[in-house]
Amino acid sequence: MYRKNFRSFSRSNYNSIGNGGPGKRFRSYSGGFKSFRQKSEKPLDINLFIKKAQELEKDHYRAQNSFEDFKLSPQLLKNIKQKGYITPTPIQDQTIATIMSGKDLIGTANTGTGKTAAFLIPMIEKIQKDRNQKVFVVTPTRELAGQINDELISFAQNMGIYSCLLIGGAGYSKQMFELKRNPHFVIGTPGRIKDMIEKRALDLTRFQNVILDEVDLMVDIGFIKTVEYFISLLSTSRQSLFFSATVGAKVSSILQSFVNEPTTVSVKKQETAQYVDQDVVYIKDKNQKIEELHSLLIQNGFDKVLVFGKTKWSVENLTKDLNRRGFKVGSIHGNKSQAHRQRILKEFKQDKIQVLLATDVASRGLDIEDVTHVINYDIPKTYDDYVHRIGRTGRANKHGTALTFV
């Protein structure tokens, strides 16, 4: 396995990920965090993250409904099948009928559980039956907004349903023109949405359906006041859908003014560990991290690698280092333009670059097929961040590997 080819770590420092069944490769490490403890009074034991992630494994969920049971329009059912959707995921199974009934909903679910389809499918059906319906979707990052819009386009193919994507880094004129066309869906990020409201190009009272997605992240990155401002502008006669991975005190304050007698659905568990081999790579000297990463990237099988860094500056510096070493790399973070981020993501999806480097915020909601490895070059701040990162591989029942540098 990989261990035989590593140039600088010993058998005691790296636990081969090739032994045992998927999601079962954890053993306790002794003494591995000495250097880390010297720098922090409360050291972060990444092994606890691995253990907890592996405990997420569960029996295979058996859906209570098929997509046909939701009595969707024939064209929408056809589009769902063309996308390869066979059985609803847990959150789709538990929310689509509720949303179609017109009730408000609070869904607590992690990225990767299928929640985008869970709210798009019933909203498309609602518009199919009533062309006067309009849907407003707010999400924290440009990439996630773009992915929701892409999903909408594929689900609504040949249905005459149109959207407008409002994100920063793109020109105002095109977006304002699309708003004038009175689209059925407006999907965007808080900053650009606020700009359009201030330019009087967007009137939130015209939307009968409002979706806040990844609310916890919007709060974390400082958009709580902006979200509360949006809510204050909305018509009280609306259907409100609220999705968040966690519901803390600040998120709860938004809930109180947003939903009315909501149904609550919680799908927090994922099958992440079932398809992801998790392990730790111990580094004795932080100055050797780049050498260890180089050693990994030249191994067989490291074909499509997503590397996470702590800050946009560290990600950019690492990108430059790997580029000088001859690797095909790209990066996405807050300092990159939207056009650059879209181009890099497209190249990574098309296998034109081997390594994509990203910060947590820039990568939120990324759905990229066939990522072979996720490497936590910097330790994630929280367990939720860890699960989000490793969930970028091992998708669609394919196995992947997650390695964390310590």
**Which pLDDT score is estimated for 273?**
58
Rounded-to-integer distance, Cα 166 and Cα 186, Å:
7
User: What SS3 state is found at 174?
Assistant: helix
* Same domain? 78 vs 172: yes
User: How far apart are the two ends of the chain, measured CA to CA in Å?
Assistant: 20
CB atoms < 10 A from the CB of 351, how many?
11
Q: How many CB atoms lie within 10 A of CB 99?
A: 26
User: In terms of domains, do 185 and 124 share one?
Assistant: yes
Three-state secondary structure call for residue 277: strand
Is residue 366 domain-shared with residue 384, that is, in the same domain? yes
Low-confidence spans in the chain with pLDDT less than 50: 1-43, 57-59, 271
Residues 252 and 282 reside in one and the same domain: no
For position 396, what pLDDT does the model report? Answer: 65
In this predicted model, what pLDDT tens digit does every residue of 26-38 receive, in sequence order?
333 333 333 333 3
Residues recorded for the chain? 406
- pTM comes to 0.66
Distance CA 238, CA 225 (A): 21
Show the tokens assigned to 174.
């095109």
Query: Pick from 231, 252, 267: which residue ends a domain?
Result: 267
Residues 257 and 347 reside in one and the same domain: no
Domain extent, residue 391, equals 2-58+271-405
Query: In terms of domains, do 49 and 140 share one?
Result: no
Specify whether 391 is located in the same domain as 315. yes
> Of 206, 237, 267, which residue constitutes the final position of a domain?
267
Instruction: Say how far apart CA 240 and CA 51 lie, in whole Å.
Output: 36
Pair (19, 157) in one structural domain:
no
39 and 72 co-located in one domain: no
Shared domain check, 170 and 90: yes
Please state the domain count of the chain. 2
Amino acid at 307: V
Report the largest interatomic distance among the alpha carbons of the chain, rounded to a whole angstrom: 65
From the list 312, 320, 328, 322, the residue with the least C-alpha distance to 378 is 312
User: So what's the pLDDT on residue 23?
Assistant: 37
Instruction: Look up the CATH number of the domain holding residue 288.
Output: 3.40.50.300
- Distances, alpha carbon 69 to alpha carbons 80, 208, 266, 314, 362, in Å: 13, 25, 21, 49, 37
241: tokens are: 């859908």
Same-domain status, 259 and 313? no
Rounded distance between C-alpha atoms, residue 289 and residue 282, angstroms:
9
In this prediction, residue 53 carries a pLDDT of 63
In terms of domains, do 339 and 400 share one? yes
State the pLDDT at residue 277: 87
Query: Is residue 233 helix, strand or coil?
Result: helix
Q: Which amino acid is at 61?
A: Y
Which of 267, 299, 319 lies at the terminal end of a domain, its last residue? 267
